[in-house]
Amino acid sequence: MYAWMWRHLPGPWPLRLLIFLVVLFAVAVALFLWVFPWVEETFEINRVTVG
Amino acid sequence: MHRKARRGRRRAPKRSPVAAIAGGLGELLLTAGVLVLLFVGYQLWGTGIQTAAAQSDLRSQFALQIDNEEPEEVYDGLELGAAYGILRIERFGENWEWLVVEGVEDDDLKNGPGRYPDNVHAGEIGNFAIAAHRSGHGEPFAKFPELHEGDIIEIETHTGVYRYELDTAPNGNADGNRINITDSWVVDPVPGEPRSTEPTEARLTLTTCWPRWGSSHRMYASGLLVDVEER
């Protein structure tokens, strides 16, 4: 998967590395902003109220 | 050497199918591990950043409420998620204070402790109830089991400062006052009596999750109003 990505990125290796890191960062941001809050709510792992 | 033969687009090195599948599976497992670690990071630390920002917004909101010239209107116009008051619990630290929000939905509680909106207001006859997180989102009630009977819980609203003395608490027991998720009797007007019972005392009830890093059960503490300073 990662090797496949690496082969399909354009440019010399420093550029590839930069693109790779930017993609990873974007994925992490998406996880923190949308995916994790959704997981927390959906699986009710953090409820504190009765009833 | 064979180097010259490899021109143009790079190709994947040839591997046996078994090696390719095992390698792919390994990458997936590693990725899953990193995802889980990131989620733990989100719970421990990521959620607190948002909460800290929300708390500072709520603090300025509450300052406006205090300046309001028509105090009666504050409660009437209170929307879910709005600032409600300041909660102070000395057992949790000398300078421990949190801005309480109106409402106990996830969206409200991620910003701070929340008031059960169907219950009475602070200081009123009945059961004034607050829920808060014990892990993540700034973990206001992290030390909940340390609450003892006799501890003073202070709540300041735009109408005044109210102090309640706990008459039931976990008393340092990590499993103390553990209740089931459905035990909503603790926030009834008179806990333990039918919901229709007319209350005669002003009570405060706090709820949080049990265990700390899960929510299969709940924990609670409760007490009666002992001191009032009207504004």
The 10s digit of each residue's pLDDT in B19-62 is: 989 999 999 999 999 999 999 999 888 899 999 999 999 999 99
B119, B195 contact by CB (below 8 A): no
Q: Do B181 and A50 touch (CB under 8 A)?
A: yes
Interval B104-122 mean pLDDT: 95
- CB-nearest to A32 from B42, B179, B207 is B42
DSSP chain B: --GGG--SS--PPP--HHHHHHHHHHHHHHHHHHHHHHHHHIIIIIHHHHHHHHHHHHHHHHHHHHH-S-HHHHHHTPPTTSEEEEEEEGGG-TT-EEEEEE--SHHHHTTS-EE-TTSPPTTSSEEEEEE--SSSTT-TTTTGGG--TT-EEEEEETTEEEEEEEEE--TT-TTTTEE-TT-GGGGSSSTTS-TTPPP-SEEEEEEEEESTT--SEEEEEEEEEEEEEE-
The 10s digit of each residue's pLDDT in B138-168 is: 999 999 999 999 999 999 999 999 999 999 9
What was the pLDDT predicted at B5? 47
The full 3-state SS of chain A, as one line of letters, equals CHHHHHHHCCCCHHHHHHHHHHHHHHHHHHHHHHHHHHHHHHCCCCCCCCC
The pairs formed by B68-72 with CB atoms below 8 angstroms and a separation of 24 or more are B68/B158, B71/B158, B71/B159, B71/B231
What was the pLDDT predicted at A46? 83
At residue A43, does pLDDT exceed 80? Answer: yes
Q: Does A32 touch chain B (CB under 8 A)?
A: yes
Q: Do A48 and B131 touch (CB under 8 A)?
A: yes
| Predicted ipTM of the assembly | 0.86
Q: Please report, for chain A, the start and end positions of each structural domain, with discontinuous segments joined by +.
A: 12-42
> Which amino acid is it at B82?
A
What was the pLDDT predicted at B47? 92
Give the CB-side neighbour count of residue B15, counting CA atoms within 13 A. Answer: 12
Strongest mean pLDDT among A2-16, B4-18, B106-120: B106-120
Q: Please report, for chain B, the start and end positions of each structural domain, with discontinuous segments joined by +.
A: 41-230
Q: Do A50 and B137 touch (CB under 8 A)?
A: no
pLDDT tier at B9 (50, 70, 90 boundaries)?
Answer: low
At residue B8, does pLDDT exceed 70? Answer: no
Q: Does A1 touch chain B (CB under 8 A)?
A: yes
CATH number of B41-230: 2.40.260.10
- State residue B164 phi and psi, 5-degree precision: -115, 145
At residue B136, does pLDDT exceed 80? Answer: yes
Mark residue B150 as left, alpha or beta (left: phi above 0; alpha: psi -120 to 50; beta: remaining): left
What is chain B's mean pLDDT, rounded?
92
**Cis bond leading into B211, ω under 30°?**
yes
Our CA-based measurement puts residue A19 at a distance from the nearest CA of chain B, in whole angstroms, of 18
Q: Which chain A residue's Cα is nearest to B29?
A: A1
